[in-house]
Structure 1
Amino acid sequence: MHISATPTEQSLPFRPADFATLTEALDYAAQGETGCNFFNGRGRIYDRLSYRKLREQARALARQLLGLGLARGDRVALVAETDPHFVRFFYACQYAGLIPVALPASVKIGAHEAYVAQLHRLLEASDANVAVASEGYLGFLKEAGEGLSVRMVATPEAFYALEEPALELPTIEAGDIAYLQYTSGSTRFPRGVIIRHQTAMANLHGIVAHGLHITGKDRLMSWLPFYHDMGLVGFVLTPVAAQISVDYLDTREFAMRPRQWLKMMTQSKATIAFAPSFGYDLCARRVRPGDIAEYDLSHWRVAGIGAEMIRPQTLQHFADILEPAGFDRRAFVACYGMAECTLGVSFSPLWQGFSTHYIDSDHLSDQHEAVLMDTGETEGRGRHFVNCGVPLPSFEVEVRDDDGNALADWQSGVIHLRGPSVMSGYFNLPEETSDALCGGGWLNTGDIGYLADGMLTITGRKKDLIIIHGRNIWPQDLEHLAETQPEVRVGDALAFSAPDHEGEEMCVLVVQCRERDPNRRHSLVRRLTAIVRTELGLDCYVELVPPHSLPRTSSGKLSRAKARLDFIAAHDEERLNAVAEELRVRVATA
């Protein structure tokens, strides 16, 4: 049976996400003809869900869920595959007054136990009442739910088969919790960001009306996972709030066939798509000269870039290759955001491309001041930082020093934000909430950067977060794995990221080792390399150092930031090339 995609343009008057709740937004979008469309790896549509049908099915499912005896505010865990089931269940929870929790749908070969353990921690942290997964993930989810008080773990079809009771759906208020967004960094210490309807709608309005200037003529296309905030908020909630159609390609399909992204952009004439740096890089690497004639990217007006430190070389390479296919490099929109602010914080000006500051990184590190350098200068360690644009109008932004004092332009410090898009806290984690939300409603992002002429530039990671190919990894997870080995004591390991021989970020684990026997040292390195790859699906360079050599702060705490600087200082280009080759061998033989 032929399935046609939902249209781009429609007769419904456009509204820029100016609703009080997510349900009110869907109620309005359901009056039009637009919706979401799901494509397979060959670029063929296999299902479509108009917003009218989504609303109808979500409200019926909401009654079925409430028929299980679930109470307002109960959590519903959803393994977030890129399919209509997730969207249907997410909005059913909105109408039922339940709280959806998106779980990752990314089990790697040989990582069965690690994936089940991750799901278990998320189910436990969210205190989920029911859990939903497709047949392919159901076994993992059932195993993860053992020992927990999850009332029902089943496939979507099992829930659809439930009786639909004749009951009134609750009235949804702006202050109700809409969903929990678990930050993707820590597998051992998950933190669920509480997002209320008013919080979500404030950010969606900012994105639609100010960040991207979306109109009723736009169309979205995405391969981003639904369990990531950029995929969920940017490409599940935004199209509904803006009444526009969206086309989805599964993340795994993109990873296997990245050129399909460009084919779908050509086919649908989509105008807006986002990706982390690695997505643009992977796509550009796979494009062959003979492919260019197949693409027409002239409709692509917003090529968003975010979720990790932005490398200008990657964007320039992508634009150079695809300019003959109609891609305009002015479409690049660099942005900054985080789950604790729902999603978007700042966006670079539209249709101007991305801009950079060439900064003396030595001076930035030593004096916490961004000093511009001429690109021809060789003195110092110059580095290009991509400007992440102007904060949305609803945000107040301050860059503060370690004593909490607001800094002037070009002074580097910790970014603090305040506004209606900021979370109300972490679910069931009062201590972590009080650490993040400081006095006066300000959020301490932990990110390092500076303001200049109203533009925000990010220069450092969120706290010690490691970001590899758009994926967040908490260093504590790596350090914990090291400490499980008999040769390694607690506090003997530090993990961080550092630039490799090609300027890409690589993961590094530095371990203090008292063992002197070369064979045993080699065995420890190989073991740690294999464990990290099995548990986290990550290639990590392991370096053994003598006891008492890990750097510490003035207060005696281990310093990942200093360890990173020491590693960079000790590894020139020749040494980094050797490191890269050594890592390749270790991974191949682990």
Structure 2
Amino acid sequence: MQATGSSQGLALRKADFATLREALDYAAQGETGVNFYNARGELYATATYAQMRSDAIALAQRLLGLGVAPGARVALVAETSPHFVRFFWACQYAGLIPVPLPATMHIGGHAGYVAQLRGLIENCEASVAMAPAEWMPFLQEATDDIALDFVGTPEAFDDLAPASRDLPEIAPDSIAYIQYTSGSTRFPRGVVIDQQTVLANIRDMAEHGLKMTPEDRFGSWLPFYHDMGLVAFIMMPMATQRSVDFLGTQDFAMRPRKWLEMMSANRATITSGPPFGYDLAAMRVRPSDAEKWDLSALRVACVGAEMINPEPLQRFAEALAPAGFRSTAFLPCYGMAECSLGISFAGLDEDVTVDHVDAEQMQHDSVATPLAPEEALKDKRRVARYVDCGALLPSFDIAIRDEDGGDLPERHAGVVHLRGPSVMSRYFRDDAMTRETLSEDGWLNTGDIGYMAEGRLFVTGRKKDMIIIHGRNIWPEDLEYLAKTQPGVNYTDAAAFSVPSEKDQQETAVLVVQCRERDEIKRARLSKTIASLVRSEYGIDCVVELVPQRTLPRTSSGKLARARARLDYLGRRRAAAERAIPEPIDGAAAEHDRAPIRNIA
């Protein structure tokens, strides 16, 4: 078996198609395709886009043979395998809507995963559901008492009788897929992305963000149920006629070196991941490994999916320098499922840039006042650091607004609002959330907090207050719900968010809970119980802070202001550190940041 090559065999086009189906029809005329590697680094499946198209059309006829209505949802457990890709493209030909479902189980275990699948399947009102054999028992349990037209493994679908009618026409404004923005079982939000919407974003990213070249080849371990894995590594390579190599997400977690080995062997030029992914790989790399790999072709290593911490990138660059990896390949970016994927990209072939600002002024006034490097080094407790996420893609308009909707000037942090052709049409069957998030004139309230400086975007807070721990999305409402199950904790008494840990700057979940109880033993028991509930259900550690009534801030309309609650918590933590740690004596200031991180003076 041989992987598909990087030579396209046809004139390159940058996603200038009306539909994904039209894009695959064109890519099928070339020689590129998809390749899948196992945990041992062995190529076990490969298909050109021509083969993928042929297989997808055959499966589309079988899906239509079920008699499902046009636009019906097809729930797909998105394991990193050829099955998911084939089903995703089959839905495009059949006029059905694929809905990727997570293929991962955390410490919450069997029951939690089944409940998650069930919640998402019910929310999207799926007519059909598929899971590979190893995930089928969970899907079967999740759908036991839900009336679906068909539930089965890929092999079961292949045994279906095909329809005898022609494939339907697909309009550019029809739904391409539904992307769930989190794994929440209580508050699922399905982002509806149309054909022309995702193709506009792919075109923008290919031309302006990645500045793609004819030699480009993609390599990824990202999950297919995540917007970056789905759009950047399934749709974008196909729509730009490039080959892509996949390593399973779980295989990467166990053997991250196989990702690097795969990219070295295939001369990958584009990859992506969250900071923790680069850090995990760096920790597992031995000097002898790096010396025998060749990552000199890797010109783009996108960094996103969570708040960007520069330290893991430094460690990765140092560990992989013997393999020819250049630190300037790192490309910080900002994106979200509600905008298909990409929104802003830092410059290619540039060092990662960090803005050092006055933390106290940011906390109290939401103003990012820059600090000179020598000031920042005197007292690091005074400094907040934000990575430059670059300039917006040219199709986007941006506004930074305060809580009342007023536009803010440069270096004033507020809610990021965006408008452009890549913005979602709505949340699936959630009119209230759609109205809250998307204005009539097309402005998307991202829920992210950030500021602009010299045309560059700096993101300082989570998307819609999303908590992201090791790449896993957790809605704050879910953690707050667990706190509110405890006696004496009312509906308005809890706020969840994440902060960099004091120990290693990795993200840590925090629950601030307003508590009326004064007995210290009972207070300690409450904190321990809430932390245990979070660990049991979500498999993460959580700091629980009990505070007096009326501590949690609210907006002018009475809503919980999590971003402000987060800043207040960091202020309390900083004040506690200042009381506990003596001021540094002359000459004991922290050492200068190491290359390749560049500071803004």
Q: TM-score normalised by the shorter chain: which range applies?
A: over 0.9
Write the letter of the residue equivalent to 1:528.
I
Output the CA distance in 1 between the equivalents of 2:551 and 2:201.
45
Give the aligned length.
575
Give the alignment of 1:529-540 within 5 angstroms: 529-540=531-542
Write the letter of the residue equivalent to 1:529.
A
Where 1:441 maps in the other structure, the secondary structure is: coil
Output the CA distance in 2 between the equivalents of 1:494 and 1:203.
34
Task: Tell me if the contact between 1:14 and 1:215 (Cα under 8 Å) persists in the aligned partners.
Answer: no
Which has the higher mean CA deviation after the structures are superposed, 233-242 or 276-285?
Answer: 276-285
Give 1:423's aligned residue.
424
Write the letter of the residue equivalent to 1:320.
E
Give 1:391's aligned residue.
392
* Residue in structure 1 matching 2:150, options 149, 152, 177: 152
The C-alpha deviation readout for 1:21-70, integer Å capped at 9, x for no partner, is 10010001111111100100111011112111100010011010000001
Give 1:176's aligned residue.
174
Which has the higher mean CA deviation after the structures are superposed, 507-516 or 17-26?
Answer: 507-516
Output the CA distance in 2 between the equivalents of 1:252 and 1:484.
33
The C-alpha deviation readout for 1:323-357, integer Å capped at 9, x for no partner, is 12101111111111110100001111111132222
1:359/1:198 CA distance change after superposition, 3 Å: same
Write the letter of the residue equivalent to 1:151.
D
1:291/1:273 CA distance change after superposition, 3 Å: same
* Alignment TM-score, normalising by the size of structure 2: 0.91
Output the CA distance in 2 between the equivalents of 1:469 and 1:230.
15
Q: CA deviation at 1:316?
A: 1.8
Task: Tell me if the contact between 1:216 and 1:243 (Cα under 8 Å) persists in the aligned partners.
Answer: no
Where 1:113 maps in the other structure, the secondary structure is: helix
1:559/1:394 CA distance change after superposition, 3 Å: closer
Write the letter of the residue equivalent to 2:126.
A
Where 1:330 maps in the other structure, the secondary structure is: helix
Q: CA deviation at 1:425?
A: 0.5
Unpaired runs of at least 5, structure 1 = 579-590
* Residue in structure 2 matching 1:504, options 503, 506, 509: 506
Q: CA deviation at 1:527?
A: 3.3
1:362/1:524 CA distance change after superposition, 3 Å: closer
Give 1:462's aligned residue.
463
Output the CA distance in 1 between the equivalents of 2:505 and 2:190.
33
Give the alignment of 1:540-555 within 5 angstroms: 540-546=542-548, 549-552=551-554
1:217/1:258 CA distance change after superposition, 3 Å: same
Output the CA distance in 1 between the equivalents of 2:514 and 2:288.
51
The C-alpha deviation readout for 1:219-275, integer Å capped at 9, x for no partner, is 100000000000000000001001110000111111111111111111111000000
Output the CA distance in 2 between the equivalents of 1:573 and 1:157.
60
Which has the higher mean CA deviation after the structures are superposed, 566-575 or 53-62?
Answer: 566-575
Write the letter of the residue equivalent to 1:422.
V
* Residue in structure 1 matching 2:235, options 227, 230, 237: 237
Give the alignment of 1:17-56 within 5 angstroms: 17-56=15-54
Task: Tell me if the contact between 2:467 and 2:509 (Cα under 8 Å) persists in the aligned partners.
Answer: yes
Which has the higher mean CA deviation after the structures are superposed, 403-412 or 160-169?
Answer: 403-412
Q: CA deviation at 1:411?
A: 2.7
Output the CA distance in 2 between the equivalents of 1:277 and 1:573.
28
Q: CA deviation at 1:467?
A: 1.9
Give the alignment of 1:119-198 within 5 angstroms: 119-184=117-182, 186-198=184-196
Output the CA distance in 1 between the equivalents of 2:293 and 2:457.
34
Task: Tell me if the contact between 2:68 and 2:149 (Cα under 8 Å) persists in the aligned partners.
Answer: no
Identity of aligned residues (%): 56
Output the CA distance in 2 between the equivalents of 1:417 and 1:128.
30
Give 1:94's aligned residue.
92
Write the letter of the residue equivalent to 1:103.
L
Output the CA distance in 2 between the equivalents of 1:279 and 1:481.
29
Output the CA distance in 2 between the equivalents of 1:51 and 1:453.
42
* Alignment TM-score, normalising by the size of structure 1: 0.93
Write the letter of the residue equivalent to 1:297.
L
1:401/1:289 CA distance change after superposition, 3 Å: same
Give 1:584's aligned residue.
none
Matching of residue 450 in structure 1 with residue 448 in structure 2? no
The C-alpha deviation readout for 1:376-428, integer Å capped at 9, x for no partner, is 11468222211111111111122223332333332322211111111111110
Which has the higher mean CA deviation after the structures are superposed, 120-129 or 408-417?
Answer: 408-417
Where 1:315 maps in the other structure, the secondary structure is: helix
Give 1:436's aligned residue.
437
Output the CA distance in 2 between the equivalents of 1:125 and 1:419.
27
Output the CA distance in 1 between the equivalents of 2:138 and 2:485.
24
Give the alignment of 1:359-398 within 5 angstroms: 359-377=357-375, 378=378, 381-398=382-399
Task: Tell me if the contact between 2:302 and 2:332 (Cα under 8 Å) persists in the aligned partners.
Answer: yes
The C-alpha deviation readout for 1:353-381, integer Å capped at 9, x for no partner, is 32222222222233332221111114682
1:369/1:574 CA distance change after superposition, 3 Å: closer
Which has the higher mean CA deviation after the structures are superposed, 297-306 or 440-449?
Answer: 440-449
Write the letter of the residue equivalent to 1:507.
A
Aligned-residue RMSD, C-alpha: 2.1
Give 1:565's aligned residue.
567
Give 1:325's aligned residue.
323
